[in-house]
Amino acid sequence: MKSLTEWGGASLIELAERFGTPLYVFDEAELRRRCRRLVESVKKYDADVYYAGKAFLPLAMAQLVSSEGMGLDVVSLGELALALSAGISAGRIELHGNAKTEELLSRALRLGVGRIVVDSADELELLGRLAKNEKTPPKILLRVSPGIAAGAHHAIQTATDDCKFGFSPAQLVHAVKRAADLPVVLAGLHVHLGSQIDRLEPFFEGVQTMVDLLASLKNACGFEADEMDLGGGFAVRSPEGPLDAGDFIEKICLRAKSASSAAGLRLPRLSFEPGRWVSSPACVTVYRVQSVKETTSGRIYAALDGGMTDNPRPCLYGAPYSPVLVSSADERKEGTVTLAGCCCESGDVLVSDAVMPELRRGDLVALPDTGAYTYSMFMTYNGAFRPAVVFVSSGTARLVVRRWNEGDLLKDQLGLEGRQ
Ligand code: LLP
């Protein structure tokens, strides 16, 4: 695909004029199709699915995933507030995080959040202390880092021996015994291997390792898990083409079933937490080209009106994107162009050496597959305004997040005088 005119049935040129650029444009039908695929796949195995809000969570998205029957994984007071304003019942919320504050845990307890995924011995103690005042003890899972390296980049591998998340297998027996003495209900274990995993093998390895851990816990202290959350991490595509996370989930469930019965365990109720797979492919981000120039060394730069502030992924992980010209003008010659962001540093490049129709000032460029970890990782560097988010359904666009303006940047500033 070298050029694109529509997304979700709406003209991108019209949307850019109406809402400004940069602009995140989501095809709502695609979001819903993906949610439905996941819900359908877990139903077959009486498993459950929580959308990982960290991928993309404006209020509209929280409402959408909930209307499709998914639960929600949140990690902060902010995401919790979004979930609640979307009308999601506390029981359908799972709370994550490796550094939960007392304020966050107290709020979760007061609300009766469905699952708290405990990440450390310190958190377990704190939760135990806070839960003493609760009528109903919270349901918890213990997060484990079983020592598996899976994920497309070291920064998004989350289950290695050396990572900051969860309990090491060696700490588990103690944690399970300790939980039994506290006013909590230990429902089971949790693991999230990493992100952008495009093969089944790491998931199978994860399942086997977790089942082995459950078997050793049963031996060591008689603990039998009712639940096991296997996290998210499904890539959007594999080298063979688009990846169907629903198919992966079904195969993982089957594997978990056979591994459990081989170990003489009853199968815990499984759950999954995909983020990227749901939101990323449903979105294109549209930018306007502000200038095109050639350097002394012969590189052509097209400078866009956004960049690392609305999509830090190329800078953080070297994430590749395939830009397209928003136009039907396919008579243009092709050339090689580097899409530079507008921030004041040379590293702010969204795509290096892309081959695409030659660009001119005023053109619109779209970056497909930008619906995950872009809006949610937005930063205000260089005084950037957060772009608007538009959902398109059957060709009709609705603004679901308005674009920031000067007022949004100034509203928290108390000036030199400050406030005593
Ligand atoms: N569950 C837990 C506990 C997680 O930490 C994550 C992602 C997910 C589920 C969802 O993973 P997904 O299905 O989206 O891969 N900013 C990085 C990705 C960080 C992922 C963090 N955890 C990026 O832009 O690639």
* CATH number of the domain encompassing residue 340: 2.40.37.10
Q: One digit per residue, pLDDT tens: the chain, 420 residues? A: 667 999 999 999 999 999 999 999 999 999 999 999 999 999 999 999 999 999 999 999 999 999 999 999 999 999 999 999 999 999 999 999 999 999 999 999 999 999 999 999 999 999 999 999 899 999 999 999 988 877 666 766 777 788 899 999 999 999 999 999 999 999 999 999 999 999 999 999 999 999 999 999 999 999 999 999 999 999 999 999 999 999 999 999 999 999 999 999 999 999 999 999 999 999 999 999 999 999 999 999 999 999 999 999 999 999 999 999 998 766 789 999 999 999 999 999 999 999 999 999 999 999 999 999 999 999 999 999 999 999 999 999 999 999 999 999 999 999 999 999
Q: Are 151 and 197 in contact (CB under 8 A)?
A: yes
Based on the fold, state whether residues 289 and 244 are members of the same structural domain: no
In a domain, 272, yes or no: yes
In a domain, 115, yes or no: yes
Q: Are 90 and 114 in contact (CB under 8 A)?
A: yes
Last residue of a domain, one of 258, 277, 296: 277
Tokens representing 134 are 């609760």
Based on the fold, state whether residues 206 and 144 are members of the same structural domain: yes
In a domain, 393, yes or no: yes
Whole-angstrom Cα distance, residue 410 to residue 330? 43
At residue 326, what are phi and psi to the nearest 5 degrees? -90, 95
Based on the fold, state whether residues 217 and 293 are members of the same structural domain: no
Based on the fold, state whether residues 188 and 311 are members of the same structural domain: no
Which residue has the least CA distance to atom 3 on ligand 1?
Answer: 192
346 CA distance to ligand 1 centroid (A)? 27
In a domain, 392, yes or no: yes
Last residue of a domain, one of 242, 277, 312: 277
Based on the fold, state whether residues 42 and 153 are members of the same structural domain: yes
Based on the fold, state whether residues 334 and 254 are members of the same structural domain: no
Instruction: Identify the domain containing residue 61 by its residue range.
Output: 28-277
**CA 1 distance to own-chain centroid:** 26
3-class DSSP assignment, residue 197: strand
Based on the fold, state whether residues 88 and 231 are members of the same structural domain: yes
Q: Which residues, in sequence order, are CB contacts of 308 under 8 Å at separation 6+?
A: 314, 315, 341, 343, 347, 348, 350, 379, 381
CATH number for the domain that contains residue 223: 3.20.20.10
Whole-angstrom Cα distance, residue 332 to residue 324? 13
Q: Would the pTM of this model clear 0.90, i.e. be above it? A: yes
> Is 283 annotated in the active site?
no
Based on the fold, state whether residues 291 and 233 are members of the same structural domain: no
In a domain, 420, yes or no: no
117 CA distance to ligand 1 centroid (A)? 15
Q: What is the ipTM of this complex?
A: 0.99
Whole-angstrom Cα distance, residue 186 to residue 417? 50
Pocket test for ligand 1, best of 35, 48, 51, 54 (most atoms within 8 A of CB): 54
Based on the fold, state whether residues 285 and 228 are members of the same structural domain: no
233 CA distance to ligand 1 centroid (A)? 6
Based on the fold, state whether residues 273 and 288 are members of the same structural domain: no
In terms of Cα–Cα distance, which of 356, 373, 250 is closest to 319?
373
Domain count, the chain: 2
Residues with C-beta less than 6 Å from any ligand 1 atom: 52, 54-55, 73, 96, 156, 158, 192, 195, 231-234, 273-277, 313, 317, 372-373
Based on the fold, state whether residues 271 and 298 are members of the same structural domain: no
In a domain, 149, yes or no: yes
Atom of ligand 1 nearest to the CA of 152: 25
In a domain, 417, yes or no: no
Whole-angstrom Cα distance, residue 333 to residue 406? 39
Last residue of a domain, one of 277, 311, 332: 277
In a domain, 317, yes or no: yes
Based on the fold, state whether residues 269 and 376 are members of the same structural domain: no
CB atoms within 10 A of CB 30: 18
